[in-house]
Amino acid sequence: MLNSAANPTIADLRERIQRLEGRAVRKGEVLSFGLAEIDARLPGGGLALGALHEVAGGGADAVHGAAAALFVAGIVARTKGDVLWCLTRPDLFGPALAQAGLHHDRVIYVEADREEDVLTNFEEGLRFGGLGAVVAELVRLPMTASRRLQLAAEASGTMGIALRRWRRPTEAADFGQPTAATTRWRISVLPSEPLPVPGIGRARWLAELIRARAGEAAEFEIGACDATGRISLSPHARDGQDQTRGSRNFA
């Protein structure tokens, strides 16, 4: 009876309820992986732009954060604009990020001495609103802090990625604590694609979508980022041909 288009109050209420439910999907607000299998599992068909996402490494990578960093680099490489990368331990290797499609001219590193400063920088970057994405390497992410970050990201429409990285493997149990992040990923390394010749093929990861707001958990076996930051679903073709090999070399 009541047409929502005719009654702006109802439409407004409906939108607010949707936002409470986490289903506020407006056009252009998601960054899809370009893989139907993964995008279908994410509400809105991709990673929401104005939202906080959490990525951690699995196994030994919980400490090193090497695969998780590349996964994040591949995601932010596909956003537009500069990227702010907040950290305390400056051990990222620029050429590797460039090979994942994230050009070094786009990344501004903000190095802080204390973990709290990283959180402050992260939030300030998210509130600024002119960046493509903000990444922060964090040990701890309390619920309150993550809520603030999520709200900051929603307000500015900037994607925030908390790259969780612990000092000891035992601390990684902290990843079970709830946060306000929209999605939560765990990236573990898998043995690389076999090649018919001696050598190491394209890296493969097990990407576990542990939590997705208004979505379901899932896990995927994926091939590591190519030169444009795109992952691929792990190919079962046994001829061992890495189709992206030709292009990834020009990162």
Partner 1 sequence: MPAAKAQAMISGLHLVDADPAGDALAIERLALWMLRQYTPVVAMDSLDGIVMDTEGADHLRGGELLMLTGLVNSLRGRGLQARGAVADTWGCAHAIARATRREVIIIPVGETAKAVVNLPVSSLRLPSDIVSGLTELGFRNVGEVSATSRAPLTLRFGPEVGRRLDQMFGRLAEPIDPIRTAEFVEVSRSFSEPIGAAETIARYIGKLVVELCAALETRGQGVRRADLIIYRVDNTLQSLRAGTAKPVRDIAHLTKLLCSSIEKIDPGFGIDKLSLAATMIEALEDKQSISSLVEETIVDVTPLLDSLGNRGQRMYRLAPVESDVPERNVGRVSPIAAKLGQAWPTRWPRPSRMLAYPERIEVIALTPDHPPASITWRGKRRRIKRGDGPERVFGEWWVRSSEMEAVRDYYSVEDEDGNRFWVYRSGDGVDPATGTAKWFLHGIYG
Identify which of residues 213 and 248 has a Cβ nearer to partner 1 in the complex.
Answer: 248
Identify which of residues 43 and 125 has a Cβ nearer to partner 1 in the complex.
Answer: 125
Q: Tell me which amino acid residue 31 is.
A: L
Q: How far is the CB of 212 from partner 1 (least distance, A)?
A: 23
**Among 24, 49, 77, 97, interactor with partner 1 by CB under 8 A:** 97
Reference 177, options 206, 139, 150, 208; nearest CA is 139
Reference 235, options 220, 216, 218; nearest CA is 220
Identify which of residues 30 and 55 has a Cβ nearer to partner 1 in the complex.
Answer: 55
Q: How far is the CB of 173 from partner 1 (least distance, A)?
A: 20
CA distance 4 to 228: 42
Burial bucket for residue 105 (CB in 10 Å: 0-12, 13-18, 19+): exposed
String marking each residue 98-127 x if it binds partner 1 according to CB under 8 A:
xxx--xxx-xxxxxx----x--xx--xx--
**Among 50, 65, 160, 223, interactor with partner 1 by CB under 8 A:** 65
Q: Tell me which amino acid residue 177 is.
A: Q
Q: How far is the CB of 64 from partner 1 (least distance, A)?
A: 5
Instruction: Look up residue 174 and give its DSSP letter.
Output: G
Tell which positions 12-31 bind partner 1, by CB under 8 A: none
The neighbouring-strand residues paired with 47 are: 31
Reference 248, options 33, 109, 83, 70; nearest CA is 70
Residue with the two structure tokens 């939590």: 211
Q: Which residues bind partner 1 (CB under 8 A)?
A: 59-61, 64-71, 73, 80-82, 84, 91-100, 103-105, 107-112, 117, 120-121, 124-125, 128-131, 189-192, 198-200, 203-204, 224, 248-251
